[in-house]
Structure 1
Amino acid sequence: MLKSLDDLEFIFPWRSYQAELLKQFNSHIADNHFHVIAPPGSGKTILGLEIVRKLGKKTLVLAPTLTIRNQWEDRLQNFFTENCDFEAFSFDIKSPSDVTFSTYQSLHAFYKTFEDKNDYYQFFNKHNIETLVLDEAHHLKNAWWNCLMDLKRNSEFYIVALTATPPYDSSRAEVSKYFTLCGEVDDEIAVPDLVREGDLSPHQDFVYFSKPEDLEINFIVDFRRDISDFKDELVKDDTFIDFLIEHRFYKNPNWHLDELYSNTDYFSAILIFLYACGFEIDHQKLEVLGFEKQEMIQFPELDLYWLGILFQNILVSDREHLIEQEKYIATLEKRLRRLNVFERKSVDFIGKKLLYKSLSNSPSKLKSIVSIVKAERESLKSDLRCVVLTDYIRKEFLNTTDENIADINKIGVLPIFQYVRYYCSRPEVLAVLSGSVVIVHQSILKAFETIESLDNFSFSPLQTDASFLLVNPKGKPENSIVSIITQLFEAGHINVLIGTKSLLGEGWDAPSINSLVLASFIGSFVSSNQMRGRAIRKDANAPNKTGNIWHLACVDPTNLDGGREVDTLKRRFEAFVGVTNSTIPFIANGFERLNIPDEIPVESIEALNEATIKHATNRILITEKWNNAIGKGTKLTKEVKVLHQGKRPFKKQKQICYFDALRFFVVELFFTMMLFYVEFIVHSFNLILQRGVYYFIYAFLAAAVGTFGYKFYKAVKLYLRHGYLYKKIGKMGLAILDTLDELGYVTSNRKHISVTSHLLGKGDVVCNLVGANALENSLFAKALSELIEPVESPRYLIIKTNIFRKRFDVENFYPVPEMFGDKKENALIFQNYWTNYLGKSKLFFTRSVEGRKLLLKARLYHVYNAFKEVTKEVVVWK
């Protein structure tokens, strides 16, 4: 233990959730990793410093920005010393001390100075640095990961990783790298814990929808119509059809098996297109995909998804193999470029990027922001502390005149400023704070001067409104402009602050924020959660504060579910938990908790927004819901939700799957016998006397089979397909849990852990563990999701089949979860437990020739698979 660290001691009482986390420290650090998820306001920095003190080793603390780096030193001096007199620290990575505070950028630059990387490793050994603290560790999905991972491979360190949001929405490779460096999550501090303890304010998320401008609507409608016309023309285009018929995959599939197996989606897209053109597909070509001669194949519809796969391969992936047809392919490329669906070697018939870019930048959102600011100001009056965060400054709109406000066609800092200045009352409490543009109203100059001399800045009146001043520093004033504007905002001289998320989204601290508008269309988990964290901090000067977080979405009028903007919001909402809008509130993550309808037609937007404003301004109700919901649980639990996605509403589909399957069949048979067969018996009485009872029974059975045989066949088939879904998923959960236990992933007492599975009202099935810790819950949820999701490319497949199932075309294919499929012995353990709970099955290795055929069949078989529903991991306070 270093003496300097031994002299440190936390001088305040620990919060209950912090004390609980530290109590488990010794068991968590046993693998030399301590990985903690903690939301903004939970004291991550304090916890990190206490862990550094407990380890007692020379330490390098790494942060993503200089602001956050400086906060570490500030917290150390003010929370772990009596007189702020700790001197054994350094900000220079080249001259480390007992505790060195630096940034990821600095370490990366330092790493690049070493031609011989052995000197880099020796530097840390020479200075005896044994602990690495990675603050806001989600940033490590970037290039900074390399210099840290290289260091970890060649030296022994304690790794302390702290983050508010792991980068779960990144690519699988990036997520894998992140956890390789940081280790599995050891513990998590939950937002409800912080709200209960009074360390975070009650808060709620709201979505304000907007309708695109007429020009945007026309653009979208024209785009959709052009694509539809192109598709209709293409299925009648003999030249294109002949081109596909002559394709090597279709003409001689058996000659190109290896290539075909590595890109089955392409081959499938060719078959689906030709089938849509009216061609009868030769069954020999389907046998390549693993289908047997007697099997009836139900081809998927030729939608834009399959059309996209087809052209992505023709124009990009497979182009070098089609060199003889290059002239024709070039004409196809020109057609797609004219349609705006081919750009940067990417085909997109759905218009995800093109339309999303149009809607995300829609000026209709400027009107949304004005409506939100007006409503919040009317509700909170001078207590309003509203921050609007967006992505770009848009300097071209700095001098937009009042007469030309309507000409603003992009969203950004200055467009928002111009709209709020023009349309909202009391513009004097409005300000802009970004990296290169700062604007204040002249009425706050006196308050400004109490913080910093006006002589240290230049103030230039705006051309459009001389009461607003453009602020630029002269030299280096004692207080930075960010600090000055923040103090003015906290004091109430500024009520509405507009800025960029890059400057104010992470590390910036203004506890008074009670209304946050996220006018950013970059929807990653990490960035949205960091920005949202600004509004939920507790304000010591306003103990009854509630935080409203506003999300903006411009609705795609050609898409009933709202389109890509709403999809982006749904992805955002996976990153954080909050209280539901339901009558009986509970705490969960996900977009569903807002009770927004699944379909959002343009004509309903105004009514939706009015209801949202009414709810948002009733802040007392938000606090009451949090208080009620917190009392219903003790910790966050991860569940797997299997979503009902049938074309029919769940209740109707349920009736088909159960009542029409067996129960309804039996009831119908009974009543038919009562009503009709009595008459049959009466009329057949002479037949019984003449030919005997056996003849009558044969006639009766023949009539029954003729009447009900086909219906019975369909009923049994439906039942086998769907069965009692929630019971089956529960049994799958038990197989996973027992496998996890046998493979050593379960550290809790297995006897105290159980699997629960139940059906929700909308038809979704929810499954989770009870009595498990956070890591066990996470591993279970991941494995169950992989098992139920559509088959991709697992190493092992489990096939639930028998002669009876084959006859009814209801074989089910399931991918063995990745954590069990790494070794054959682990896969066999899982199969053993699967057999115990779900009956006989076969295990296939998919990297063999036969296995690849089965894998292809499994991927195409989703049209038969009862578990084709998409799964979702949900976090609930229980």
Structure 2
Amino acid sequence: MPPEPVASPLTGWIFTGELRTYQAEVLTRLPVGGRDPLHVVAPPGSGKTLLGLLLAARERHRTLVLAPTVTIRQQWVRTAVDLAPDARAVSDDPERIADLTALTYQALSVTGDGSPFDDLARVVWAEELVEAGRSDADAATWLAEFAIDNPAQYRSGIRRRTRRLRSQFARRNPAELARVLHPNAAALIDRLVAAGVRTVVLDECHHLLDHWALVVAYLAARIRETGVEPLLIGLTATLPSPDDETEYENYSQLLGEVDYEVPTPAVVKEGHLAPYRDFVLLTEPTPAEAGFIRRHEALLHSMIVDVLSTPDGISFLEEQLQPANGPPDEDPLARIDRALSADFALTRSCAVVLREVVPQHPLVAAIPQVLLDRCTTDDLLTVLVRFAQARLLADPSAANQWEHVRRSLADFGYLLTDRGLRRGRNPVETTLASSEAKDAAAVEILHRELASDDGERVRAVVVTDFVTHGNRRGADAAAGALRTFDALVADPVVAGLRPVLLTAQYLRVRADDAATLAAALADLLGVTVDIGDAAGATRDLRTSGAGSGRIVAAVSELIRRGEVRVLVGTRGLLGEGWDCPAVNTLIDLTAVATSSATQQLRGRTLRLDPGWPEKVAHNWSVACLIPADVALDDASEPDRLRRKHSHLWGLNADGDGRIVSGLAHALPSAAAQAFEAVLDKHPDASIRGVDDLLRAAWPARATTRAEWRIGEPYTSRERDEITVRQVAAAPLLRTTQVARADGATSAVGGALGVGLLLAVLAGQGLAVHPALGAALVAAGGALAAATTLLPLLGRTLRDRRHPAEVYRLAALVVARTLRDAGRIGPFDDTDIVAHVDDDRTRVRIELGGMPADRRVVTDAVEELFAAVRTPRFLLRIDRGAAGSTRLFERLADRLSPGRTLLPVPRAIARRRGDAEQFERHWRQAIGTCTLHELQGAQGLALLRVARSSEGRVDVARPRARVWG
């Protein structure tokens, strides 16, 4: 029997203030009394706590709020007391269940230090053994012995069952789940259910990945056993990363798809978060680190070259470039053509590697120049892995060589297996991520901030991953908060800001500030603060009787007063839950790039500051790049930089007031182009040159605030955007092949029509003079042709005046083909629009619609206009046969471009039928085209032409999402 319900809990809870626009929209849009979970994403400072309470109150059931920390739990209690008619209706005591009870997730703990799913898998395995005929005791004994006798097989069995359990844990019997919970947690859940809890609010619900997902699933299952359906309300500032598919599946099983997402720009525009700007500072490794990287580059290059320059390695390269299954007297170029047809990408890599390994090899001269790009690290690794798998792994006698290559690659952070190469965090990536140059960059950023018009208002937080990191490659001290703090206090300008280091283990200050700050903290904490023994330029402060939460609050108060203006700490302490509205400058030195970590960090600076109503936040990212003159390729830092900014909204760095995501809101066009030149190893590119461009484009905080246009009406709409460079004439115009065919057909038809009319007239006795008749026939043909060609010419002129429409049609062709292929759902043609920039040099293609489908289409459109690499199909767009003399054809020919070759996107090129459908859609919407598969000599010739021109995607304005 279900427990007796509490009489109308939360009914009298009233909010007397004014709801924000998006809060009111959430309450209006999300249904009351539904059976499905409610899932809301909103940034820090957007009023999630109030929104969650109002969503729960309208359900009129007893409610449990689960929060990740005690600090956040107390925020819920304070806000709930303000709404409740009686403060006794709110509790944070697990022994007193009230109308609304706020607890931490940790209160519902699970057993052990490992995954509860492993414990549950062992329970299931034991049950399987019992069903097979063993007793309970025998099953338990056999499993215990098996775990010791054959641990590998035991772990394999646990993993198999764990995977199955993870995919169905939310539907398992509550009694099974209870067996892996701590008895205290199970008893607390029983009390909650017995007290009539029906609504469960999950704050910062991105924590529901493994342990807590199982606990909440158990709580929900126990409520269902009473005969009612629980309502789960998930609130978070950011979704968890889908990188761990299993954990993400646990999360999505509980909360489903997002029902409403409040964009950060909406909260800023309504004046509830501070306007902000994102900046990037690029640096390069210190001389010692650069020396290590160069040695690493030389060692890796030497190791690969040594392996591939052996007779066996050269033989492998020759066989890849000159396959043997052909005529004995076959030309070397023809053999290369066949190799390209068999495996284009591998053949190209083998070509550049052969030139690198044996530059004087006779075959190098026969390789077409179009294939001989720069030999990258990826090319070397690709060929080495193929060689190792084909020649070493397959040959038992080469086992020692296979092990040598495998161990050698492991030294560089690569794991070679029979499936291929898996890339771990190699030493170069670790060196760049923890570079000492980033500490110097933090000092430089503070110098720039202090020199600005609002320099006296700067309150900065510098965040690292760890207190100290084990990596010391090329550095004197291990990376982390301690090393960063030492760099800050050593600078006389930054030292004047009274920097403080605060971590779980340290409260460190400058020696010159120790007495002053110790006294200030003692006054705030009401306890004695001791100064540690002398240790160079810094001192550690020690408190007794004050917990970490109180110390963090006291330091935050000193920041508010301006007595401390720089705080150094780790993301574990200064990330989620830390609240210091006075902080207006973030220097992010962390290596994390997940959505949750990135957005939580940025949320620290966006709180409104009562002491500065005109506050503008500056958020800095620091990346350490390998200089252009070092041949080694490592994309870890630029990729991390891109990932970080892909999760964030911000003002377009070009100053046009648009709100975009991606690097476009941190790098102006010129800087973005220079950044790509560094990554492409352009000889004239430099990291300092990129920084010079960024400094020149650095706007004042007042300019940033004005660009946000706070208080003005806005449309909360999101779409993806691709920017392409516009050539003199739109490169996708309808071709004159169509005009020629239609014109010729119309001319013949017109002439025959006139001739038939003359014949009829002659039959009626109305003969026409032969010369006049011939003139009339010719005139009829010309008039008919003109009637057909003039509209085509008009359309060509129109498309020339409005080139954006041609690009819009190209994007529509992509979307229609993907829809026909079943890769996206239905879409509205109006979701795709295109605009020409004011300077008429670029076209912006914007794609709306459902997020998942929109991303698929945007990926394909970007690939269509990107530089040609190694596609399976090319779409050829011709201007018609040469030598035409007809006036209309020649005129249209001049207005349309020459030969254009576009790569067919991979999502379409996987199946020939889809590629052919793409060609049909293109013909119908845009004009004549021909589909070519890259095979043999013809494919190589087309590739030469296609790769001779640059891609149309504008590298200076990277792909972005647009809001508003």
- TM-score under structure 2 length normalisation: 0.64
Q: Is this contact kept in 1: 2:463–2:590, CA < 8 A?
A: yes
Q: Distance in 1 between matches of 2:492 and 2:946?
A: 55
Compared CA separation, residues 235 and 314, structure 1 to 2 (3 A): closer
Q: Distance in 2 between matches of 1:43 and 1:168?
A: 23
Answering whether residue 818 of structure 2 is matched by residue 729 of structure 1, we say: no
Q: Distance in 2 between matches of 1:763 and 1:534?
A: 39
Q: Which residue pairs with 2:560 in the alignment?
A: 490
Q: Which residue pairs with 2:650 in the alignment?
A: 578
The counterpart of 2:203, out of the listed 93, 113, 135, is: 135
Q: Is this contact kept in 2: 1:657–1:723, CA < 8 A?
A: no
Q: Distance in 2 between matches of 1:365 and 1:758?
A: 40
Q: CA RMSD in A?
A: 5.5
Q: Which residue pairs with 2:786 in the alignment?
A: none
Q: Which residue pairs with 2:591 in the alignment?
A: 521
Q: Distance in 1 between matches of 2:354 and 2:71?
A: 65
The counterpart of 1:454, out of the listed 527, 542, 550, is: 527
Q: Is this contact kept in 2: 1:515–1:548, CA < 8 A?
A: yes
Q: Which residue pairs with 2:602 in the alignment?
A: 532
**1:398-413 alignment, distance < 5 Å:** 408-413=476-481
**1:171-570 alignment, distance < 5 Å:** 171=244, 175=248, 177-230=250-303, 235-242=308-315, 303-312=376-385, 322-336=395-409, 340=412, 342=414, 353-379=426-452, 380=454, 382-394=456-468, 408-425=476-493, 426-427=495-496, 429-440=498-509, 441-455=514-528, 457-465=529-537, 469-476=539-546, 480-558=550-628, 563-570=635-642
Alpha-carbon displacement from aligned partner over 1:834-854 (angstroms, at most 9, x marks no partner): 99869999xxxxxxxxxxx99
Q: Which residue pairs with 1:72 in the alignment?
A: 76
Shift of 1:190: 2.1
Q: Distance in 2 between matches of 1:619 and 1:51?
A: 37
Compared CA separation, residues 834 and 375, structure 1 to 2 (3 A): closer
Give the 3-state SS of the residue equivalent to 1:138 in structure 2: helix
Q: Is this contact kept in 1: 2:68–2:203, CA < 8 A?
A: yes
* Count of paired positions: 740
Shift of 1:385: 1.3
Q: Which residue pairs with 2:19 in the alignment?
A: 14
Q: Is this contact kept in 2: 1:42–1:199, CA < 8 A?
A: yes
Compared CA separation, residues 875 and 308, structure 1 to 2 (3 A): same
Q: Which residue pairs with 1:875 in the alignment?
A: 961
Shift of 1:119: 2.4
Compared CA separation, residues 25 and 232, structure 1 to 2 (3 A): same
Shift of 1:537: 1.3
Q: Distance in 1 between matches of 2:217 and 2:917?
A: 33
Q: Which moved more, 1:119-128 or 1:182-191?
A: 119-128
Alpha-carbon displacement from aligned partner over 1:248-289 (angstroms, at most 9, x marks no partner): xx999xxxxxxxxxxx9998776556666789xxxxxxxxxx
Q: Distance in 1 between matches of 2:461 and 2:728?
A: 47
Compared CA separation, residues 41 and 536, structure 1 to 2 (3 A): same
Q: Is this contact kept in 2: 1:790–1:868, CA < 8 A?
A: no
Q: Which residue pairs with 1:119 in the alignment?
A: 175
Shift of 1:166: 1.9
Which amino acid in the other structure matches residue 481 of structure 2? V
Q: Which moved more, 1:176-185 or 1:557-566?
A: 557-566
**1:741-752 alignment, distance < 5 Å:** none
Shift of 1:471: 2.5
Q: Which residue pairs with 1:680 in the alignment?
A: none
Alpha-carbon displacement from aligned partner over 1:716-736 (angstroms, at most 9, x marks no partner): xxxxxx995542212334677
Shift of 1:359: 1.6
The counterpart of 1:43, out of the listed 20, 40, 47, is: 47
Compared CA separation, residues 863 and 877, structure 1 to 2 (3 A): farther
Q: Which residue pairs with 1:109 in the alignment?
A: 110
Which segments of 5 or more consecutive residues in structure 1 lack a partner in the other structure? Answer: 253-263, 280-295, 398-405, 645-649, 667-721, 771-775, 792-796, 842-852
Q: Which moved more, 1:296-305 or 1:39-48?
A: 296-305
Compared CA separation, residues 430 and 172, structure 1 to 2 (3 A): same
Which segments of 5 or more consecutive residues in structure 2 lack a partner in the other structure? Answer: 125-172, 179-185, 326-339, 356-367, 679-683, 741-803, 865-870, 880-898
Shift of 1:210: 2.0
Shift of 1:66: 3.3
Q: Is this contact kept in 2: 1:11–1:82, CA < 8 A?
A: no
Q: Which residue pairs with 1:53 in the alignment?
A: 57
The structure with the larger Rg is: 2
Q: Distance in 2 between matches of 1:241 and 1:198?
A: 66
Give the 3-state SS of the residue equivalent to 1:4 in structure 2: coil
Compared CA separation, residues 422 and 187, structure 1 to 2 (3 A): same
Which amino acid in the other structure matches residue 234 of structure 2? A
Q: Is this contact kept in 2: 1:61–1:132, CA < 8 A?
A: yes
Give the 3-state SS of the residue equivalent to 2:462 in structure 1: strand
Give the 3-state SS of the residue equivalent to 1:332 in structure 2: helix
Compared CA separation, residues 803 and 407, structure 1 to 2 (3 A): closer
Shift of 1:498: 1.0
Q: Which residue pairs with 2:749 in the alignment?
A: none
Shift of 1:497: 1.0
Q: Distance in 1 between matches of 2:15 and 2:206?
A: 27
Shift of 1:489: 1.7
Q: Is this contact kept in 2: 1:799–1:812, CA < 8 A?
A: yes
Q: Distance in 2 between matches of 1:71 and 1:827?
A: 56
Compared CA separation, residues 194 and 119, structure 1 to 2 (3 A): same
Compared CA separation, residues 834 and 158, structure 1 to 2 (3 A): farther
The counterpart of 1:597, out of the listed 672, 677, 685, is: 672
- TM-score under structure 1 length normalisation: 0.69
Shift of 1:568: 1.4
Compared CA separation, residues 81 and 167, structure 1 to 2 (3 A): same
Shift of 1:527: 0.9
Shift of 1:352: 6.9
Identity of aligned residues (%): 22
Q: Distance in 2 between matches of 1:727 and 1:271?
A: 35
Give the 3-state SS of the residue equivalent to 2:673 in structure 1: coil
Q: Which residue pairs with 1:618 in the alignment?
A: 700
Q: Distance in 2 between matches of 1:194 and 1:229?
A: 54
Shift of 1:531: 0.6
Q: Which moved more, 1:346-355 or 1:156-165?
A: 346-355
Q: Distance in 1 between matches of 2:814 and 2:450?
A: 52
Compared CA separation, residues 869 and 81, structure 1 to 2 (3 A): farther
Shift of 1:570: 1.5
**1:614-653 alignment, distance < 5 Å:** 618-627=700-709, 631=712, 633-641=714-722, 650=725
Alpha-carbon displacement from aligned partner over 1:498-534 (angstroms, at most 9, x marks no partner): 1111101111000011111112122222212111111
Shift of 1:863: 10
Q: Is this contact kept in 2: 1:210–1:365, CA < 8 A?
A: yes
Q: Which residue pairs with 2:753 in the alignment?
A: none
Q: Is this contact kept in 1: 2:308–2:314, CA < 8 A?
A: yes
Q: Distance in 2 between matches of 1:90 and 1:625?
A: 43
Which amino acid in the other structure matches residue 756 of structure 1? V
Alpha-carbon displacement from aligned partner over 1:90-138 (angstroms, at most 9, x marks no partner): 453x986544434445445177898795326787685454433332233
Give the 3-state SS of the residue equivalent to 1:450 in structure 2: helix
Which amino acid in the other structure matches residue 383 of structure 1? R
Shift of 1:874: 3.1
